[in-house]
Structure 1
Amino acid sequence: MSVTELKERHSVATETVNNLRERLKQKRLSLLDTDISGFAKSQGRTPVSFGPTDLVCCRTLQGHTGKVYSLDWTSERNQIVSASQDGRLIVWNALTRQKIHAIKLPCAWVMACAFSPTGQSVACGGLDSVCSIFSLSSPTDKDGNLPVSRMLSGHKGYVSSCQYVPDEDTHLITGSGDQTCVLWDITTGLKTSVFGGEFQSGHTADVLSISINGSNSRIFASGSCDATARLWDTRVASRAVRTFQGHEGDVNAIKFFPDGNRFGTGSDDGTCRLFDIRTGHQLQVYYQQHSDNDVPPVTSIAFSVSGRLLFAGYTNGDCYVWDTLLAKVVLNLGSLQDSHDDRISCLGLSADGSALCTGSWDTNLKIWAFGGHRRTT
Structure 2
Amino acid sequence: MSVAELKDRHVAATETVNALRERLKQKRLSLLDTDGAGYAISKSRTSVSFGPTDLVCCRTLQGHTGKVYSLDWTPEKNRIVSASQDGRLIVWNALTSQKTHAIKLPCAWVMTCAFSPSGQSVACGGLDSVCSIFNLNSPMDKDGNLPMSKMLSGHKGYVSSCQYVPDEETRLITSSGDHTCVLWDITTGLRISLFGGEFQSGHTADVLSVSINGSNSRMFVSGSCDATACLWDTRVASRAVRTFHGHEGDVNTVKFFPDGNRFGTGSDDGTCRLFDIRTGHQLQVYHQQNNDNDVPHVTSIAFSISGRLLFAGYSNGDCYVWDTLLAMVVLNLGSLQNSHEARISCLGLSADGSALCTGSWDANLKIWAFGGHRTVI
What TM-score, normalized to structure 1? 0.99
Counterpart residue number, 1:333: 333
Counterpart residue number, 1:78: 78
Matches within 5 A, 1:45-194: 45-194=45-194
Counterpart code for 2:138: S
Secondary structure of the residue that 1:374 maps to in structure 2? coil
Structure 1 residue 375 displacement after superposition: 3.1
Counterpart residue number, 1:39: 39
Counterpart residue number, 2:27: 27
Counterpart residue number, 1:280: 280
CA distance in 2, matches of 1:372, 1:194: 48
Counterpart residue number, 2:213: 213
Counterpart residue number, 1:371: 371
Q: Deviations over 1:198-257 (max 9, x none)?
A: 232111111100000000011100000111100111111111111111111110000000
* Partners of 2:358 and 2:366 within 8 A in 1: yes
Counterpart residue number, 1:236: 236
Gaps of 5+ in 2: none
Structure 1 residue 4 displacement after superposition: 2.2
CA distance in 2, matches of 1:315, 1:123: 25
Q: Deviations over 1:322-367 (max 9, x none)?
A: 0000000000001112110000000000000000000000000000
CA distance in 2, matches of 1:7, 1:198: 17
Secondary structure of the residue that 2:49 maps to in structure 1? coil
Structure 1 residue 166 displacement after superposition: 0.3
Counterpart residue number, 1:3: 3
CA distance in 2, matches of 1:261, 1:177: 27
Counterpart code for 2:365: L
Secondary structure of the residue that 1:37 maps to in structure 2? helix
* Partners of 2:83 and 2:90 within 8 A in 1: yes
Counterpart residue number, 1:357: 357
CA distance in 1, matches of 2:350, 2:77: 9
Gaps of 5+ in 1: none
Counterpart code for 2:291: S
CA distance in 2, matches of 1:88, 1:141: 16
Counterpart residue number, 1:303: 303
Secondary structure of the residue that 1:140 maps to in structure 2? coil
Structure 1 residue 14 displacement after superposition: 1.4
Counterpart residue number, 2:322: 322
CA distance in 2, matches of 1:370, 1:244: 34
Secondary structure of the residue that 2:53 maps to in structure 1? coil
Counterpart code for 2:351: A
Aligned length: 377
Structure 1 residue 372 displacement after superposition: 5.6
Counterpart code for 2:274: L
Counterpart code for 1:311: F
Structure 1 residue 272 displacement after superposition: 0.3
Secondary structure of the residue that 1:28 maps to in structure 2? helix
Change (3 A) 1:95 1:295: same
Secondary structure of the residue that 1:53 maps to in structure 2? helix
Secondary structure of the residue that 1:255 maps to in structure 2? strand
CA distance in 2, matches of 1:268, 1:20: 26
What TM-score, normalized to structure 2? 0.99
CA distance in 2, matches of 1:308, 1:50: 12
CA distance in 2, matches of 1:94, 1:78: 5
Structure 1 residue 13 displacement after superposition: 1.5
Secondary structure of the residue that 2:56 maps to in structure 1? strand
CA distance in 1, matches of 2:195, 2:375: 37
Percent identity, please.
86
Structure 1 residue 370 displacement after superposition: 1.6
Q: Deviations over 1:165-207 (max 9, x none)?
A: 0011110000000111101000110101111112321111111
